[in-house]
Chains A and B, each alone.
Chain A
Amino acid sequence: MDAIAVTNLTKRYDKVLAVDAITFSAPPGATIGLLGGNGAGKTTTIAMMLGLLLPTAGEIRILGHDMARDRFAALARMNFSSPYIALPSRLTVAENLRVYGHLYNVHGIDRRIAELADELDLEDLLDRPAGQLSAGQKTRVALAKALINKPDVLLLDEPTASLDPDTGDRVRTWLERYRDQSGCTILLASHNMAEVERMCSHVLMMKQGRIVDRGSPRELLERYAREDMEDVFLDIARNRQNPVPA
């Protein structure tokens, strides 16, 4: 059974078609990259997968649960991280993680927090208010929140946006390690092509709400006869070049 199965997913706001009948799936343990320019429909797709937004049409099944009818069963085994959604700034890091530990019904919360603090180098930050952290520290805390329930499906919206290369690399390493150890499925929306090339087994290229191309990073590089994913991205975004026929 696929961890993620999206079929003909559509979202329409009045006359604007934000997501246009997209279909994709992800097996357990895969990392799927969701690429596209601003307004391509990536965040809308993720919001629908999280149940924040109701689709106009189509079906989303996550871990076998239909998100239209049984979303809470799936949400308990999922998690999400985005630099655009914050954690309460006046609570300490430990308090924030404790709140989400309760919300996700994590047993042995303090032990789990200690594990995450060890894995993500958060020990020195646990008693500091979340609002006083640097961007890199906030990202690590957001990641700890996203891993608090040991999710089977992790949705990440630009997880390394605004991070310096060192911190970005550490975050990618943590994510890869968690995925490899837990068998978690990751859906990654990112503008960082190097990140996508490194982490993703499969990439979905979105444009104007549709999936216009898909494949592994290697397949896409070959198809567009390019050296790196950034050029593939630009080719698709600017209609510069048709893919090389297989």
Chain B
Amino acid sequence: MAPLPVSSPTTCVIPTTCVIPTTCVIPAQAGINRGTGADPDPGLRRDDTERDARMTASLRRIWGLMYRHIALYRRSWPRLLELAYWPVLNMCIWGFTASFLTGRLGSTALVAGAALMGGVLLWEVTLRGQMGMAISFLEEIWSRNLGHIFVSPLRPWELVTALICMSILRMLAGVVPAVLLAWGLYAFNLFTLGPVLILFVINMIAMGWWVALGVISLILRHGAGAEPLAWGVLFGLAPFAAVFYPVSVLPSFLQPVALALPAAHVFEGMRGILLDGVVSHGHLAAATGLNFVWLGLASLLFAYQFHQARVRGALLTIGE
């Protein structure tokens, strides 16, 4: 066996001391300041270096977890295909429905059909974003890898960030083909909504994140029994999200429930543009505000359930 090599301090791989960025990067960087007498505040520079090293380490850990999932998709075309399968299928069904209605009812149905397809696509953003995040977490449970992940220096916020990044990638892999299909097959161009579309998409995927964070919290609390929520929970919210109809259609006692969901405001805003050509800044602001509130609450729930899982020892047994 070859002897264990001793690397230079700058490369940070000295076996006994050089793994933590804060301890291994500073010596090399500190040399810049040492003895020059010209640095007005060496302490401040050292703080900056430490902060940079910590941030670099965080980014590497986030990328490490993303790489674990990307490597899976890189080798498996059925997995890649599955990402786009349901969004494309949904687009086919609703696209043909819209085409049929347009053929029978004329120009009025043309606008309604556009609202229908816009609803499908934006709802898929939430759905794929939520599933992308929750299922990436479940992958760790299914591969019995969670124990290794949580004994690494990966912080909970880094885990959540990696899951969010994966949800964006998975959402794009699912929704982009459906957008192209809508444009190619039904001549529906989602981008006619204008630049506000970007804000709609951000709000829709953000809703997917807080729902996913809630699902992950429930999995941490209830284990495998809560797994089906990763697939089903958003379907339960769909009737209140006003995807295909305005909130006013709902019974009055259900309307406050709908208006508590960012999606309902996004869809009201989308229909405002498609039907009346008006951008409703009120609905946009409401969706953004609600997302902040729900994300905050979901983060608190996740932090609490993660702490409780450490109290109960559930991080070792989860999924069994």
Interface-centre pick from A52, A72, A90 (highest chain B CB count, 10 A): A52
Chain A residues with Cβ under 8 A from B316's Cβ?
A: 43, 47, 52-53
Chain B, residue nearest A79 (CB): B151
Tell me if B1 and A177 are in contact (CB < 8 A): yes
For the complex formed, measure the closest distance between the CB of A147 and the CB atoms of chain B, giving whole angstroms: 9
B residues apposed to A, CB below 8 Å: 1-5, 7, 11-17, 19-22, 56-57, 60-61, 63-65, 67-68, 71-72, 75-76, 139, 143-145, 147-155, 307, 310-313, 315-316
Tell me if B19 and A76 are in contact (CB < 8 A): yes
A191 interface hit (Cβ, 8 Å): no
Tell me if A102 and B148 are in contact (CB < 8 A): no
Chain A residues with Cβ under 8 A from B3's Cβ?
A: 181
A95 interface hit (Cβ, 8 Å): yes
Tell me if A100 and B152 are in contact (CB < 8 A): yes
Starting from the known contacts A47-B313, A52-B315, 14 additional A-B residue pairs (CB-CB under 8 Å) come to A52-B151, A52-B310, A52-B316, A53-B310, A79-B151, A80-B147, A85-B147, A98-B67, A99-B64, A103-B61, A103-B149, A105-B60, A107-B7, A184-B16
Tell me if B64 and A101 are in contact (CB < 8 A): yes
Tell me if B149 and A53 are in contact (CB < 8 A): no
Tell me if B4 and A178 are in contact (CB < 8 A): yes
For the complex formed, measure the closest distance between the CB of B202 and the CB atoms of chain A, giving whole angstroms: 28
A21 interface hit (Cβ, 8 Å): no
Tell me if A118 and B20 are in contact (CB < 8 A): no
Tell me if B153 and A150 are in contact (CB < 8 A): no
Complex: A205 Cα to B7 Cα, angstroms: 39
Tell me if B151 and A50 are in contact (CB < 8 A): yes
Chain A, residue nearest B71 (CB): A95
7 interchain residue pairs of minimum CB distance: A102-B64, A150-B15, A85-B147, A86-B144, A103-B152, A76-B153, A88-B143
A175 interface hit (Cβ, 8 Å): no
Complex: A105 Cα to B61 Cα, angstroms: 7
Complex: A232 Cα to B63 Cα, angstroms: 48
Picked from B7, B17, B61, B312, the residue with its CB within 8 Å of the CB of A102 is B61
For the complex formed, measure the closest distance between the CB of B197 and the CB atoms of chain A, giving whole angstroms: 34
Chain A residues with Cβ under 8 A from B64's Cβ?
A: 98-103
Chain A 46-67, CB-CB to B under 8 Å as 1, else 0, gives: 0100111110000000000000
Tell me if B16 and A90 are in contact (CB < 8 A): no
Complex: A34 Cα to B64 Cα, angstroms: 32
Chain B, residue nearest A81 (CB): B148
A222 interface hit (Cβ, 8 Å): no
A10 interface hit (Cβ, 8 Å): no
Chain B residues with Cβ under 8 A from A98's Cβ?
A: 64, 67
Picked from A72, A90, A118, A182, the residue with its CB within 8 Å of the CB of B72 is A90
Tell me if A105 and B21 are in contact (CB < 8 A): yes
**Which A residues, 104 to 122, have Cβ-Cβ distances below 8 Å to chain B?**
104-108, 112, 115, 118-119
Interface-centre pick from B72, B151, B311 (highest chain A CB count, 10 A): B151
Interface-centre pick from A100, A107, A181 (highest chain B CB count, 10 A): A107
Complex: A115 Cα to B6 Cα, angstroms: 12
Complex: A115 Cα to B15 Cα, angstroms: 13
Tell me if A183 and B147 are in contact (CB < 8 A): no
Complex: A98 Cα to B12 Cα, angstroms: 16
Chain B residues with Cβ under 8 A from A54's Cβ?
A: 307, 310-311
Tell me if B313 and A103 are in contact (CB < 8 A): no
Chain B residues with Cβ under 8 A from A102's Cβ?
A: 60-61, 63-65, 67
Picked from A75, A89, A107, A181, the residue with its CB within 8 Å of the CB of B153 is A75
Picked from A13, A86, A145, A150, the residue with its CB within 8 Å of the CB of B19 is A150
For the complex formed, measure the closest distance between the CB of A182 and the CB atoms of chain B, giving whole angstroms: 5
